[in-house]
Chains A and B, each alone.
Chain A
Amino acid sequence: MTNDLLSLDNVTVRFGGVAALDKVSFTVRGGQVAALIGPNGAGKTTAFNAISRLVRPAEGRIHFDGKDLLRLDAAALSGLGIARTFQNLALWPGMTVLENVMVGGHARGRVGFVTSLLGRPARREDGELRARAYAMLDWFGVSDVAHRECKGLPFGTLKRVELARALISDPTLLLLDEPAGGLAHGDVRELGELLLRLRDERDMTLLLVEHHMQFVMGISDYVVALDFGRNLVAGTPAELRDSPELVEAYLGTPA
C-alpha cells in the first residue's frame, strides 16, 4: 500500500438505470504509466470523470495520495496535483492560447477577489505564470500561435495546447483521455517519448485512456482493461498481450 497513488475501490456510476461503471477497482502506483483500455462503451472515460469529480459515483471510494477524492469537488483536484486532458479538448475558444495555458495554473495563483481589484498584485503574479506558459508552448512547438484565440486552430495544435494547460500546474498525477487520438503516426511516437520523460524526469504518474493499442502496450507499466463497465483483466502489457479475455472483449467469441 505504500506506493499506491490512486486507488478506485468498487466504484459504481449509474446513468439512469444503466451502470456505466459496475464495481470497478484498480490501483495506480506512483511513478507508473498506467492505461485504461477496453472497447467502446467500456466505461473508461466514465472512470476518468469519476476520478476528476465530474460525475458522482453511486458507490465505492476513490483515494488519491491518502485523500478521499469523493469528499472534494472538481476544482480542488488541480491544487492537489491532479491534472487531466479531455478526449474532445477542454479549452476556452474566446481566450488566447497563452491565456488558456495560464488558466491551467489557476490553482497555484494567489490573487483573490479583493486583490484582483488592484493592479499590482495581479501583474506581479502573472508575469511569472505568463513566462512559464510561454516557455511551455515553445517547448511544444506552438508558441507561434500563443497570442491567437483557440477558435479555429487545428486539432493537433490544440492537443498540444491542452497538454501544456495540464502540465503548467506541475501535477503529480496526469490523466490523459485519448492523447494519441487524431495524431499523425510520427506524432504518436513523439508523444510516447514525452510521456515517458514526464514519468522519468518529472516523477509524474500518468493514467491514460487510449485506443491505440501499440502505443499503450509500448509505454505502459500497467494496463487495466474494462468491458461493459466491469473489471476485465489487469497486468503488465506482457501479461495482457495474449490474454484470452481481452481478445474476446475486442473481437467477440469465436463462433
Chain B
Amino acid sequence: MARYTIDEGSTTHRRLRWGLGSLAAAFLVVLPLMIPSVAQIETITQIVCYSVAILGLGLLTGHCGQISLGHSAFVGVGAYTTIILVADHGWPYLATIPVSIVLCLVAGALVGIPALRIRGLYLATVTLAVAALFPVLINQFPSFTGGPNGKFAAEEMTAPDWFFVNPYTPTGPPTDHYYAILVVAALMFLIAGNIVRSRVGRAMHAVRDAPLSAAAAGVRVAPVKIFAFAVSAAFAGVAGSLLVIQVPAVSDARFDLYLSIFLLVALIAGGSASIWGAIPGAIVFVVLRTYIADWAESLDLLSGRPDGGQIVGIMSGALLIAFVFLLPGGVIDGLARLRRRVVEIVPRPPRDWERYRNATPSRTAQPAVRES
C-alpha cells in the first residue's frame, strides 16, 4: 500500500507535478555546466538525441503496435539531409530540421503502406529490408552523400552572440549544441505527449490492441497506421538531424541494421507504454553502444579481433531477454511501481461528469436531443 495518496488533478498533485517538472528542467539546464569534460557532455547530448529516435519508435511500436526495423534508415535520412544542406548549400543547422521532417514523413508513410496488409514478423522483415537498403543507397550516390568516405561540414553550429555560454572554452561549443538539441528534443516530447493523449492517440491504442474492433468502432485503421509510421519516421529523422548538430560528420556505417536493433532493444528496456520510457531507453542505448563497446574492445580476449564489437550485440540480446522476463514494462514501468509504493495518485471522475447524467440512456424523461 502506498504511503501517501494524492487525488489526481488536485492542487497538491498539480504543485507536485510543476515542482518536479521544474526541478528536472533546471537539472537538465545546469547539467553541462557542472561537468568539466567534453566527452561526458557529448555522451549526455547523445542520450538526448537518441531519446528522440526511441520516442518516435515508441509511438509506432508501443502505441500503435507496429514493429519497425527500418528506423536506422529514417535516422539516416535526417542526418544526411542536415549534413548535405549545411555542407553543400550553406543552410543554418536548425533550418534543416523541417526538411528532415518532411522527407521522413513521406518516407515513413511509404514504408508504412505494407503495414496495412501484414504485421508482426512479416512487417519486421519488410522494414528490415529498408534498413539493409539504406547504406547501399548512400553508396550509390557518392556525389551527394560522400559515399563510403562519409560527409563533413566545415563549420560547427555556433550559438548566437547573446547566448550565455562562453564559446572560447573547451566545453563551450558542445554545451551550445547540447542546449539546442535539448530544446528541440523537449519540443518533440511535448508533441508526442499531445498525440498520445488525443483522439488520434486513442485510435492508435485501439489499433494496437484490436484492429478489427477499432474499425468496428469507427476508427479508420489504415490512415492511423500510416500516420503512426510517418510521424514515427519524422521523429527518427529529427534525431538524425540532432546527431549532426552535435557532430557535423556522417557516414553510412552509423545507420545500419544494428542501429535499428539497438533502438528496439532500448525501447523495450526503457519501456514502450509511456513516452518517458525513451529517456531510460536512450541511456541504455548509449551505455551499450559506447561504454560496453569500448570495454569489449579493450578486453584481451577479443583484442585484435575485428569483430570484437560484436559482444555488444550479444549483450543487448541478453539484455532484451532479461527485460522481457524480469521487467516487461521496461525501466519506466519499474520506476512507476516504485513510485506507487510511496505515493498513489488516485484518478478522479472527469470534471462536470454529472452534467451528462441525464444524457445517459434511460434517465431521459423524453427522447434525447441528438447532439450532432
Contacts and interface: CB of A to CB of B under 8 A. Distances in A.
Nearest to B194: A119
Contact of B213 (A90, A127, A135, A167): A90
Interface in A72-105: 73-79, 83-84, 86, 90-95, 98-99, 102-104
Interface stretch (A38-46, A56-64, A194-202, A213-221): A194-202
Given A104-B217, A169-B218, A132 B359 contact: yes
A116 interface: yes
B362 A197 contact: yes
Nearest to B348: A147
Taking residues whose C-beta sits less than 8 angstroms from the other chain, chain A's interface range is 35 or more
Nearest to B223: A113
A111 interface: yes
Contacts of B220: 73, 75
Interface in A105-145: 106-109, 111-113, 115-119, 121-123, 125-127, 130-136, 138-139, 143
A51 to B, nearest CB: 11
Contacts of A106: 199, 202-203, 206, 217-219
Interface string A15-44: 000000000000000000000000000000
Contacts of A210: none
Contact of B372 (A130, A170, A194): A170
Nearest to A78: B218
A94 B357 contact: no
Interface stretch (B19-27, B113-121, B363-371): B363-371
B306 interface: no
Contact of A103 (B202, B366, B367): B202
B353 A134 contact: yes
Contacts of B199: 106, 109, 111, 116, 122, 125-126
Contact of B364 (A107, A143, A202): A202
A203 interface: yes
Contacts of B365: 201
B209 interface: yes
Contact of B198 (A92, A126, A165, A203): A126
A238 to B, nearest CB: 26
B197 interface: yes
A103 B362 contact: no
Contacts of B161: none
A153 interface: no
Contact of B202 (A74, A102, A108, A131): A102
B259 to A, nearest CB: 26
B357 A139 contact: yes
Contact of A113 (B227, B354, B356): B227
A146 interface: yes
B361 A134 contact: no
B349 A143 contact: yes
B320 to A, nearest CB: 21
Contacts of B361: 136, 139, 167, 194, 197-198, 201-202
Interface residues of B, number: 53
A54 interface: yes
A52 interface: yes
Contacts of B347: 146-147
B237 to A, nearest CB: 15
A131 B358 CA distance: 12
A75 B219 contact: yes
Contacts of B367: 201-203
Contacts of B216: 52, 54, 74, 77-78, 84, 86, 90
B355 A131 contact: yes
A94 B208 contact: yes
Contact of A122 (B194, B223, B363): B194
Contacts of B210: 90-93
Given A104-B218, A170-B370, 19 more contacts: A78-B218, A90-B212, A92-B205, A92-B208, A95-B209, A103-B206, A103-B214, A106-B206, A106-B217, A106-B219, A116-B198, A121-B198, A122-B198, A125-B199, A131-B353, A170-B368, A194-B361, A201-B362, A202-B367
Interface of A: 52, 54, 73-79, 83-84, 86, 90-95, 98-99, 102-104, 106-109, 111-113, 115-119, 121-123, 125-127, 130-136, 138-139, 143, 146-147, 165, 167, 169-170, 193-194, 197-198, 201-203
Interface of B: 190-191, 193-195, 197-203, 205-206, 208-210, 212-221, 223, 227, 273, 347, 349-357, 359-368, 370-372
6 closest A-B pairs by CB: A78-B218, A90-B213, A122-B198, A107-B218, A92-B209, A135-B356
